[in-house]
Amino acid sequence: MKDQTTKQASASQKPNILVRLLALLVTAALALGALTLVVYRDQFNLDAVKRWLALRSVETDASGAAAPFTHAGGDSISFAYLKGGILQCSAAGAHYYSFSGDQYAEEVTPLSQPVLSASSSAGVVYDAGGESLFLFQDGQEAFSLDVDGTLLSARVNDSGWLAVTAQQSGYKGSVTVYNVNSTSRKEIIQLNFSSVFVADAAVSPDSKTVAVITIGQENGSFFSQLLLYPVDSIEPSATLSLGNLAVLDLDYEAEQLWVLGEDRLLSVAADGSDYETYSFGRSYLKGCHLGGDGFAVLLLGRYQAGGAEQVLTIDPQCQLIAQAPLRGQVLSFSAAGRYLSLLTGSGLEIYTRDMSLYRALEDTQDARFTALSPNGSALLADSQQAWLYIPS
């Protein structure tokens, strides 16, 4: 009887041992896989999978360049790489293309000072100093507007909320917020200013706050302010004095707001409670792009009349991440996702935020413009044609 009990106990232990051994092997395999992804993260880049999913229908040559297609051209050309296609803006109007060059939508109208402003999913084209505005997303023209006044700025976030800054009769400035994704494309709020001018405005990523830059005058001196308004209130939740800073650009990230001046870059807390500053010192600003995830790109030069001599990446605490000298004239540059791109006469180079070279393309077919996608693919264009570069 004792021997029989022992045999039964041994038999019941064998499955447990096999289960534990299998669990150990699975754990070891997962750990090894995680280690492999860390060591070879550039080779096993999730962005490569995203590129394949988004652009699998686009055929490329061995270098990763797709066949070019003809765009509308015109003077004062600019481009945006959207989630669903390519938006082109010029003095002749706006044109929205698929990645293979099929035209989704267009607005053929003369624009005296054409401006293109875009998020990753939507782009807005407007005539600065004019009245017309057109917004494109999801393969169509989703919204248009003729303001009763003078357009100064228009910015759209990834959720399709649009902030329009204009000078209208009876006021020194007005900011109107629209929810373009709503069925009625309705106006959410309008903020009117009588004592100060309005320079710019942007809606937060969560669409709960609109940041407004105002310019006033006191005792013969100009001063700027940043005001944060909940989109359901005409009273600001925070007011931040910017002194005599002339604001050139602003852009929201998840937890902060970039504010660009002529001699410094500010990172403002989302609630407006505090800010950090990166000073350009004795260098002059030659260019800036605020579209990277968790970093801004600066092009600086030592001389006011010269070109850019170095590229810098700055983190949300306004600390320097990395910098590198420029080996040639930068024709165009862009930032999106974790990447930045530099187009020169020698080719296109795509870097990560720490200025590590990710991919390079020598033959850019004399491209003069570039725009970057968050997944690392790049748009290249000249005055007549555009094409994609999809890193392998």
- The 3-state DSSP class for residue 13 equals helix
Burial pattern 354-363, b for ≥16 Cβ within 10 A else e, equals eeeebbebee
CATH domain 45-74+283-392 topology: Methylamine Dehydrogenase; Chain H (2.130.10)
pTM: 0.86
Pairing of strands 209-218, 378-381: unpaired
Amino acid, res. 232:
D
Q: Distance between CA 68 and CA 72 in Å, rounded?
A: 13
Digit-coded pLDDT (tens) for 148-157: 899 999 999 9
Digit-coded pLDDT (tens) for 80-103: 999 989 999 999 999 999 999 999
Q: Are 166 and 133 in contact (CB under 8 A)?
A: no
Please report the pLDDT score of residue 327 as a whole number. Answer: 86
Please report the pLDDT score of residue 186 as a whole number. Answer: 82
Digit-coded pLDDT (tens) for 311-326: 999 999 999 999 999 9
Q: Is the pLDDT of residue 42 over 50?
A: no
Please report the pLDDT score of residue 29 as a whole number. Answer: 58
Digit-coded pLDDT (tens) for 11-24: 455 556 766 667 66
Digit-coded pLDDT (tens) for 272-314: 999 999 999 999 999 999 999 999 999 999 999 999 999 999 9
Q: Distance between CA 237 and CA 201 in Å, rounded?
A: 15
Q: Distance between CA 247 and CA 389 in Å, rounded?
A: 34
User: Domain-by-domain residue ranges, the chain?
Assistant: 1-43, 45-74+283-392
